[in-house]
Structure 1
Amino acid sequence: MAQLKEIIQWCDQTLNTHEFKDYAPNGLQIEGKSEVQKILCAVTASQEAIDAAVAQNADLLLVHHGYFWKGEPYPITGMRGKRIKSLIQHDISLVGYHLPLDSHPSLGNNAAIAECLALENLQALDPSERHPIGNIGFLKQAMSATEFRDYLTARLGFKTIHLPAEKSQIQKVGFCTGAAQDFIGKAAEQGCDAFISGEVSERTYYEAKELGVHYYACGHHATERYGVQRLAKAISEQFNIEYSYFELNNPI
């Protein structure tokens, strides 16, 4: 058993949350029990994830996509109201980490993608960022564009969408999980052969072709499964408490 405040303090310090400007609050979003025996982690704080936390008697739901995003309406009604009511009724804390969990060099989503794809010699996609949100890595051996698409599909468990460019071989790869398709311009500036993210937009087709960078959409959910699991495991080891992961195989 661990104190909720101690867990949040440790996470905030580990992820350097105070050094990020984000689209939602990082850390404790809804306060539940003061003592935590079990954590359930999930990519998104959906109703199904909340129901799973209730069913598993979790004290804390740890997510990458929490609540209170910039631009959202203030009233707690409708779908969001139902979710928050469920958490409060069952005294479950909601804890969310967004950009800090994308960029962390060992626990983060991008670090996990690099490891999964065996990308080497990592560097920042944007060298001006103190805590890079995106990265660049190198394949040990170059692949053709179609070979790389099939490799991504096999390693990430998501039917990858490939928007082609002219280059015949891929070795220098930019990547940023989630909805970072508009970072393809940064990848082009850094001379990348390809860029990986989760989602894709209509405009991305033309940008890939005209910028000369192959684009691979590997799923927003599929590319961001890893950070919450790594963070939950680290919390479990630090505080000697139980954790589990809830997988809702979102096809987007």
Structure 2
Amino acid sequence: MNTGDFEILMTQLFGKWIKEFEDEGEYGFTHKVEKEIKVIAYATNLTPETVEKAHNSGADLLITHHDAWDFVYGMKEVCVDELKKHHISHYFTHYPLDFVEFGTSTALFERIDIDEITSLSSFKDNQELPGIGIFHEPLTFLELKERLEHVMEEPVKAWKNHDRRINKVGILTGAGNNTALIEYAKKQNCDAFITGERTLYSVQYANFAGISLYVGSHTYTEIFGVENLVFRIQKHYPNVKVVRINEEHIESC
């Protein structure tokens, strides 16, 4: 697979979501090298550390969910310098990966063995919508917490806001700390809402609304969406090796 093949495949895999977020800075190459891609490394975040680990793994291409955003002042420039030095391409896909059918919320549902996804996470009228799923055999509050911790290999903060078993679940990975997202899950009769960040107000509202809240890290609620993407690339190009870059659990400290 060369760089051109990769770009064509991205348009095929993401379909309408590529057009939806065209020219909005939500996906694309941070640095592009025209070369044969034999090894793809992947992570949630573009940081100097993930670039160095990609280099150590022999990667030709690093794929992440996040760019090194401009508000993390100066980090993007350092990352690009390192990518250039090591002759590594970097591609990120943010909103397209959040809402494509195999994306971040779907991937986390899959990893916690949900029985049925009744609606995918989506983006409508300039608003994000959580995915909704059902456990046919409802879990206890602690069973779901332990399942999440096992999958993400990190502590999960959780607030038990009712005494029901967990049957219906809403997920919006990453920064799903907007109370409107929890309200949406509540209106869908969800027993729990899972995300990757919290605020005072999201904790308050979940308690008020009587919906249990589970919060892992932004990084590790979203890594499985990137993993789903690279596995699909590997299906199309079986000779490409994929390497997961393990990031530190700095949000859990």
Q: TM-score range by the shorter chain?
A: 0.7 to 0.9
Distance 1:127 1:62, change over 3 A: closer
Match of 2:81 among 74, 81, 85: 85
| Map of 2:100 onto structure 1 | 104
Q: Letter of the aligned partner of 2:29 in structure 1?
A: L
Q: Letter of the aligned partner of 1:99 in structure 2?
A: Y
**Superimposed CA distance per residue, residues 44-77 of structure 1 (whole angstroms, 9 cap, x where no aligned partner):** 111111112222332111111114x4xx36xx98
Q: Letter of the aligned partner of 2:91 in structure 1?
A: V
Distance 1:115 1:127, change over 3 A: closer
Aligned mates of 1:110, 1:192 — CA distance in 2: 15
C-alpha RMSD over aligned residues:
2.6
**Superimposed CA distance per residue, residues 109-143 of structure 1 (whole angstroms, 9 cap, x where no aligned partner):** 22221112221331237788499752111112223
Moved over 4 A (4+): 125-128, 130-133
Q: Is 1:140–2:136 an aligned residue pair?
A: yes
Q: Is 1:94–2:114 an aligned residue pair?
A: no
Match of 1:154 among 147, 150, 153: 150
- The alignment's TM-score, normalised by the length of structure 2, stands at 0.86
Instruction: Report if aligned partners of 1:134, 1:176 keep a CA contact under 8 Å in 2.
Output: yes
Aligned-pair CA distance for 1:21: 3.4
Aligned mates of 1:231, 1:98 — CA distance in 2: 12
Aligned-pair CA distance for 1:187: 0.6
Alignment of 1:38-49 (within 5 A): 38-49=39-50
Q: Share of identical aligned residues, percent?
A: 24
Q: Letter of the aligned partner of 1:209 in structure 2?
A: N
Q: Is 1:210–2:208 an aligned residue pair?
A: yes
Distance 1:185 1:147, change over 3 A: same
Q: Which moved more, 1:28-37 or 1:14-23?
A: 14-23
Long gaps (5+) in structure 2: none
Q: Letter of the aligned partner of 1:227 in structure 2?
A: G
Task: Report the secondary structure of 1:65's partner residue.
Answer: coil
Instruction: Report if aligned partners of 1:62, 1:96 keep a CA contact under 8 Å in 2.
Output: yes
| Map of 2:160 onto structure 1 | 164
Long gaps (5+) in structure 1: none
- The alignment's TM-score, normalised by the length of structure 1, stands at 0.86
Aligned length: 245
Aligned-pair CA distance for 1:39: 1.2
| Map of 1:52 onto structure 2 | 53
Distance 1:162 1:243, change over 3 A: same
Aligned mates of 1:80, 1:9 — CA distance in 2: 26
